[in-house]
Structure 1
Amino acid sequence: MNAPPETPSPVELRPVPGSGGRTRSGSARIDAIDALRGLVIALMVLDHTRDFFHRTAFTADPLALDSGDPVLFLTRWITHLCAPTFVFLAGLSVWLQKASGKTPAELSRFLLTRGLWLIILEFTVIGLGFNFGWWLFAQVIWAIGLGLILLAGLHRLPPFSLAALGLVILVGQGVLASVPATAFGVAEPLWRMLAIPGPASTALGFLLVAYPAIPWLGIVLLGYGLGGALTDARGLKKRRVLLTAGGCILVFAIGRGLNLDGFDPRPWTVQDSPLWTLFAVINTSKYPPSAAYGLITLGLALLLLAGLDRWGHRVAAGLRVLGRTSLFTYLIHIWLAHGLALAVGVATGVPASAFLNTISDPGRLIAQGWGFGHLGVYVAWAVVMAILFPLSLWFDRVKRDRRDRWLGYL
């Protein structure tokens, strides 16, 4: 019996020659995807290292257009690529699993358990690592987790319809933001987790929502829905990847250039110099992701994906290691960066207690004058990466040598 149109043939995708073969979930391994995921892991480590080490991390907006500090602006802005890329590739990876022959029932079961596992990690290991104290922090792992749970049912629909739905969510999510969370009364925390970022009090403690799930679901659906358009048995359909990237950037340039209503909640204005005017144009809303933000970041991510498809030297090989162990590396880097900050702080006379509840209550660190300039941040990033990479390399070898089922969840 032929497979339905929305279900790719199990033989459509095969391991790409020269790649890592297949993922543990059975989907074809495409080196460029691993390398791109590894690149944004490295950028994400920079972003979080800056959070723990920069002297103004808790007192100033790094994207402020009046700071006069282009290095700080670019250090923060380049890391905007991380979350959309992770979320988009999460959706694309689901399509690859389905295209590689996983049955609808098997895929739904995996997505449900994987999504629940990610949510558990977000509100325990990850939140504690960021804060060194109990709180509830809804970040990108929460958004991906709920996206996978919803995709456990939605993947049975035609991919094109899910791509269209994802685009509608990305463009129209501003409608959700127009409904104040306080209008929901005791359900305010739930509405925040779904639609509007911000703080809320819950029976389990203080909740900070940075990544409401519905807006990011749009990017998950785009990744899944475009999977067949961007990949095939040979790996990437590079021409389509480039065309999609160019289309995203072109639409961004037109919509953002004209300050179209609803494109981004912060219209850009001319600044004192051409450089800062450019910064104003690209300084789009991430919380929640606007259409402008989604288009420019996904456009750049797809350009990088096409470039990495032909990049075969040792740096790309290292990025692939990080990409193949992305969740493990993500979990480790938080505790490593925060722990390194604590160690350096204690060595320079800052009480260890100041590093507890670091993000929910940074006042003690601010009072101590903690932090370094750009050089100190980049040195700390290099140290974290130097410790992190051997751990990722070790775990990559473990995953290649062992077939324990639980390894598929890391």
Structure 2
Amino acid sequence: MKSDRKNRIKSIDMLRGVVMVIMALDHVRDYFHADAYLFDPADISQTNVPLFWTRFVTHFCAPVFVFLAGTSAFFVGQRLDKKSLSVWLLKRGLWLVIAELTVIKLAWMFKLDYSTILLQVIWVLGISMIFLAGFIHLPKKLMIGLALVVIFGHNLLDPIAPTDSVASGFWTFLHVFNIVDMGSFQVFVGYPIIPWIFVMPLGYYFGELYKPTYDSKLRIKRLFQLGLGLTVLFFVIRTLNIYGDPYAWAQQNSLGMTIASYFNVTKYPPSLLYLLITLGPSLIFLAMVENVQNRWAEKLVIIGRVPMFFYIVHIYVIHALAVVAAIATGFSFSDMVIDLWVTLQPQLRGYGFGLWVVYLIWILLTSALFPLCKWYNTYKTANRQKWWLSYL
């Protein structure tokens, strides 16, 4: 059972490692792809098939981060009482929010003025943990039912658009991808909290499948059933084309682009269909890799064990490399000092490279970061008594 338990944890770390690596592809694209400064890769009227799928595959990252963060909290809870777990979640959540506003903001923008505040995935991870600190005290069935109601029903809220500035700002934090003007500064709400805060509790109770007493064969069966069920449900709802996403799919001028339109689901905030087509296949992946052991799997496991470390370091490295690339192609360092988001910098129009360069840089980047992740994982394992390591 001990080795089986080890395998279970490895499969989760492997999935986390996969999405970390995929996430790096999206961020390299943001900082190096020429078309990123001209149009959204998910804009069906302007994108192309390779670019669309380069963007689509990275949709798996945020849902897996939030869902598995809940699962990790469940594992922590196996050695703590609920009160202690709540305290741990509160401290961890607050740290993530602070990190988003400081070290991560600096990485994205290369400046630390607060005329603009970015609230992105690390922010919503932190806020979700803070809510989870309270949610774990609700009866299990009530919490799961509430989470499912919000996840399946929140797209009914899409038409709501308050006209009052205060109400509009509050609603943006809850359910709208937008900028909130706060007078002396603005807040870019990339990740409003609904439905993210309800995804994490599902990940928390999902952890029960990984209790040492749970039969591994039954767990694999359940993972396949859950994953396939969510994926099939995506196809059923998407084909009906009447609910589940703010934007319907439509026939395009080619089969490839029609398929792209079909899979073009909304991330900000995540629609029901977005969550179904990302979490469903992710659960199937967990079932498939339960007992996989090879050198590539081990590399992904190592990255998956140090996700926050990888996240922070890879942003700094990508941004620093982009500065070098910009200067080498006739731009200046100041052009890469970001006001809101790199692809929205008007002075960077004309900068960038082809998609093949993006993939090349991504491969080189992840290859170069792996030894650093391996070193940190070893250091972290050998120094578990250092409390601060649990925050990185």
TM-score range, shorter chain: over 0.9
- TM-superposed CA distance for 1:358, in Å, is 5.8
Q: Which moved more, 1:273-282 or 1:294-303?
A: 273-282
Question: Which residue number corresponds to residue 26 of structure 1?
Answer: none
Question: Which residue number corresponds to residue 315 of structure 1?
Answer: 296
- Candidates 273, 277, 285, aligned match of 1:292: 273
Please give the alpha-carbon distance, in whole angstroms, between the structure 2 residues aligned to 1:113 and 1:388: 28
Please say if 1:242 is aligned against 2:229.
Answer: no
Question: Which residue number corresponds to residue 407 of structure 1?
Answer: 389
CA contact (8 A) 2:194 2:269 kept: no
Please give the alpha-carbon distance, in whole angstroms, between the structure 2 residues aligned to 1:151 and 1:163: 12
Question: Which residue number corresponds to residue 8 of structure 1?
Answer: none
Q: Tell me the secondary structure at the aligned position of residue 18 of structure 2.
A: helix
- Candidates 344, 369, 376, aligned match of 1:395: 376
Question: Which residue number corresponds to residue 251 of structure 1?
Answer: 233
TM alignment of 1:57-96, pairs within 5 A: 57-67=36-46, 69-96=48-75
Question: Which residue number corresponds to residue 345 of structure 1?
Answer: 326
Give the aligned residue type for 1:73. F
Give the aligned residue type for 1:388. L
Please give the alpha-carbon distance, in whole angstroms, between the structure 1 residues aligned to 2:352 and 2:162: 35
Q: Tell me the secondary structure at the aligned position of residue 50 of structure 1.
A: helix
Give the aligned residue type for 1:365. L
CA contact (8 A) 1:53 1:377 kept: yes
- Candidates 183, 196, 202, aligned match of 2:176: 196
| TM-score calculated relative to the size of structure 1 | 0.88
CA contact (8 A) 1:119 1:141 kept: yes
CA contact (8 A) 1:163 1:224 kept: no
Give the aligned residue type for 2:179. P
- CA deviations 1:34-64 (Å, max 9, x no partner) are 0000000000000011000000112212122
Please give the alpha-carbon distance, in whole angstroms, between the structure 1 residues aligned to 2:11 and 2:241: 34
Question: Which residue number corresponds to residue 365 of structure 1?
Answer: 348
Question: Which residue number corresponds to residue 186 of structure 1?
Answer: 166
Please give the alpha-carbon distance, in whole angstroms, between the structure 2 residues aligned to 1:80 and 1:204: 33
5+ unaligned residues in a row in structure 1: which ranges? 1-13, 21-28
| TM-score calculated relative to the size of structure 2 | 0.92
- CA deviations 1:245-279 (Å, max 9, x no partner) are 0110111111111113x311111112223322221
Q: Which moved more, 1:323-332 or 1:300-309?
A: 300-309
Which has the larger share of helix? 2
- Candidates 187, 196, 200, aligned match of 1:207: 187
Please give the alpha-carbon distance, in whole angstroms, between the structure 2 residues aligned to 1:122 and 1:194: 18
CA contact (8 A) 1:199 1:206 kept: yes
- Candidates 135, 140, 164, aligned match of 1:159: 140
Q: Which moved more, 1:242-251 or 1:215-224?
A: 215-224
Q: Tell me the secondary structure at the aligned position of residue 180 of structure 2.
A: strand
- TM-superposed CA distance for 1:68, in Å, is 5.8
- CA deviations 1:285-340 (Å, max 9, x no partner) are 11111111111111111111122223211111011111100011111111111111
- TM-superposed CA distance for 1:204, in Å, is 6.1
Give the aligned residue type for 1:109. V
Please say if 1:107 is aligned against 2:85.
Answer: yes
Please give the alpha-carbon distance, in whole angstroms, between the structure 2 residues aligned to 1:380 and 1:370: 16
Q: Tell me the secondary structure at the aligned position of residue 19 of structure 1.
A: helix
- Cα gap change, 1:74 to 1:256, in 2 (>3 Å): same
- Candidates 24, 28, 41, aligned match of 1:45: 24
- Candidates 4, 10, 19, aligned match of 2:6: 19
Q: Tell me the secondary structure at the aligned position of residue 349 of structure 1.
A: coil
Percent of aligned pairs with the same residue? 38
Q: Tell me the secondary structure at the aligned position of residue 165 of structure 1.
A: helix
**Higher RCO (CA-CA < 8 Å; seq separation 6+):** 2
- Cα gap change, 1:341 to 1:234, in 2 (>3 Å): farther
Please give the alpha-carbon distance, in whole angstroms, between the structure 2 residues aligned to 1:144 and 1:181: 26
Please give the alpha-carbon distance, in whole angstroms, between the structure 2 residues aligned to 1:398 and 1:193: 38
Q: Tell me the secondary structure at the aligned position of residue 213 of structure 1.
A: coil
TM alignment of 1:159-178, pairs within 5 A: 159-178=140-159
CA contact (8 A) 1:34 1:321 kept: yes
- TM-superposed CA distance for 1:350, in Å, is 1.6
- CA deviations 1:191-225 (Å, max 9, x no partner) are 32222111122256221111101211121122123
5+ unaligned residues in a row in structure 2: which ranges? none
Please say if 1:218 is aligned against 2:201.
Answer: no
- Cα gap change, 1:399 to 1:292, in 2 (>3 Å): same
- TM-superposed CA distance for 1:227, in Å, is 2.6
CA contact (8 A) 1:176 1:196 kept: no
Count of residue pairs the alignment pairs up: 383
Q: Tell me the secondary structure at the aligned position of residue 309 of structure 1.
A: coil
Give the aligned residue type for 1:119. V
Q: Tell me the secondary structure at the aligned position of residue 208 of structure 1.
A: strand
Q: Tell me the secondary structure at the aligned position of residue 179 of structure 2.
A: strand
Please say if 1:138 is aligned against 2:125.
Answer: no
CA contact (8 A) 1:324 1:396 kept: yes
CA contact (8 A) 1:16 1:234 kept: no
Q: Tell me the secondary structure at the aligned position of residue 226 of structure 1.
A: helix
Please give the alpha-carbon distance, in whole angstroms, between the structure 2 residues aligned to 1:106 and 1:165: 24
CA contact (8 A) 2:48 2:257 kept: no
